[in-house]
Chain A
Amino acid sequence: MSPVQPLPPELLYTRTDPSLLRFKTSTDLPPLQEIIGQDRAVGAVKFGIGIRRPGYNIFALGTTGTGRHELVEDFLRQHAADEPTPSDWCYVYNFTDSYYPVALEFPAGSGVAFCRAMEELVEELYAVIPAAFASDEYRIRRQTIENTLRERQEAAYRALQTEANQHGLDLLRTPSGLVFAPVTETQEVIDPEAFQKLSEEEKERIRGHIEELQGKLQAVLQQAPDWESETRRDLRALDAETIRFTVTPLFTRLLTTYADQPAVQKYLAAVQEDVQHHFDLFLTAESKEDGEPSHTESHPPITRYKVNLLVDCSNTQGAPVVYEDNPAYGNLVGRVEYTTRMGGMDTDFTLIRPGALHRANGGYLMIDARRLLLEPYAWEGLKRALRAGQIRIETPGQMMSQVNVITLEPDPIPLDIKVALVGDRSLYYLLSQNDPDFDELFKVAADFEDVMHRTPDSQARYAQLIASLAAERDLRPLESEAVARILEESARMADDAHKLSMAVGAIIDLMQEADYWAGEEGAQTVRLSHVEMALQEQYHRSARIPERSREMILQDTVHIQTEGAVVGQINGLSVMQLGKIRFGQPTRITARVRMGRGEVVDIEREVALSGRLHSKGVLILSSYLSNRYATEYPLSLHANLVFEQSYGGVDGDSASSTELYALLSALAELPIRQALAVTGSVDQFGNVQAIGGVNEKIEGFFAVCQERGLTGEQGVLIPRTNVRNLMLRSEVVQAVENGQFAIYPISTIDEGIELLTGTPAGVADDNGIFPEGSVNRRVQERLLAFARRWLALHYPAQPGEAERNGDGPMA
């Protein structure tokens, strides 16, 4: 096997040639008219907007910062501009049952006019009704009716009085009634003595007259309520006639205006009937008391005739596009507010408030999925509205049938809307898996790419995107070198030299920070140095922990050797993510072996400091050992693997090849070069596989070596399949160029162990025997020796028993 060659510098960092961008500064570039790198998502959004079928709502999923909000909103706005403006909606009083306010629909922008018309109507009613009741005609007719009653009463009273007088009697008022008494000629009540002196005949005559008059008085008094009732009926009829003639012309005008809207006509008819029944609302208390209506300038508001304009599209062009930033339940489906009155809660239809669904009805509603799900009942409320195709304003308690409070139940409003949720992929799959309604209601998934291919053409368009972003944010023009550097950084963000990151948010941050440094320098344009400064400062601001970690290595508090050779010890590489920054650092991994029952003990796992992926990697390398070296005899090995001085736990399988190398070194008793560090996972066949964070890992080890002094012997073994991911910092590339550092692409464990030990790995012959002196032969022999001793110990005399135990004797 020929030794693995280090990678040439040009494979460590794929540059973007500024000259190929063909502009001097970003202002030379035309603004980007299209959306780049998101063809799949764009197609999905277009489809979602175009298809007008129930359930075809959109879920824009992808990584934060990939421009999902902007893209979806831009598309929605473009599309919405050509669509018809939706209707206005009002809530009005329900004269049949005020518990159920009535919803009225008006053509876009007409709701305001209706509100105004109703206000004017009420103003008019305040003017004409008191005037009608103050008119001479009304007064005279009312007076006539009242006089009729009075005349009837007085005539009856006079008749009784006259008849009584004719019989020498007078009618007297007592505190609780009336009494007839005989009187003298001077109208004095006759005294009892005089009465006693009257003849019996006379007394009987008087008694007879009194009885007769009492009967008549009773008849009159019994008739009095009927007369009063009749008078009240006549007065009501007069009032009704007066009010009808007064208000009908006003309503006729309105009914003509809204002739083509039956619902409005029905409402106006109800208003007219109500006004006719409650005309006294338009008269002041004083005038009602006096029976003399009068119009006053400051009249009390009459709530029942108000119009609650819920949705006003008078300033809307095309269909509305609403982004609800705070998708609480009430903000979404609307709510009924309350006022306190006399210590209690009270409400009416004027306190109905619209939600985002009302404002976006007939158009589009965008919501951040995470925020929506964090709001209690909001997700259920949205689904309910979409399923039913109508907006029903209910309190959450009503919706869940949990609360029995007196509130309003406004008419539901038909819902015609396209909802676009924007969220993470994990959220999308979580909902898809756990909510049976989700797939029915959000049939369109717009999956946003995290990366795009890095080609000359895509880089040119990305440069245009950068130019547009700079122009939109009023940043200084970027020189082509600066743009090229941003493109390179984008590739590094993508973790792939052949891709560009779609995390536009991070690119914008970098541009803004570079612009800041350009400003600090007083430059007119953003140059390469400003971008470098921005990156350097970004790292510096977050580098406290990596620097502290490196310092501990340099102080030998954490033991990391970068020279010499040690059996069973190797430098592994790990990567840590702290906030926005990722950094790599070396970790010493050690392996110790002895005869045993075929166990490779991962100390990290034993103390629950490793994740499941790491444990899986350890099991894979166990399998590799037994399949490669001990197919014909038991793997009688007990090995311990340790991440030395690791206290925070490890995960991932990127150290599995490293652990295997340490194990092989321990078994072969061959020292490993400590100037090298290793990363990569391994499969059961010994193939080294790609890992993540390769750049940071290399840079982490490089930084330690650099501090201690580069020797030319130092380097990192990486999986060959990770070579395409390399976008290393310039100092690493420079060191490689100078022959002070090396990156080795490794395909197999044999390649790696050869490099690490300086001893050939060895290839097995047809009998499975490795060449003498090779690493694999030494491993094979060590394992064989363990097996023999194991068998000797456990099966000294009766090998048949060993067979039954599954550990057959060696040939």
Chain B
Amino acid sequence: MDYKDAIGKALTVADALAAAEPQIAIIASAVRGGYMAIKAARQFFADQSGEHDKEKLEAIIAVFDQRVARWDNAHF
């Protein structure tokens, strides 16, 4: 079981308990917050590896192609 499965199960249980007992909603919220933090940290460290450098540059090139075309076609 990876961390996503584990946290997914924890969230399911916490949500079920929260429905029965409102105070447990705080715990569910904390679990959800922890999940988001782990997800963000994993994305951050994956990003630091440089594995998406080429994709990032390709995205920049595509977006700026569109922006140049937007100025070309504009008349104010």
A, B: real partners: no
Seen from chain A, the residues whose Cβ lies within 8 Å of a Cβ on chain B are none
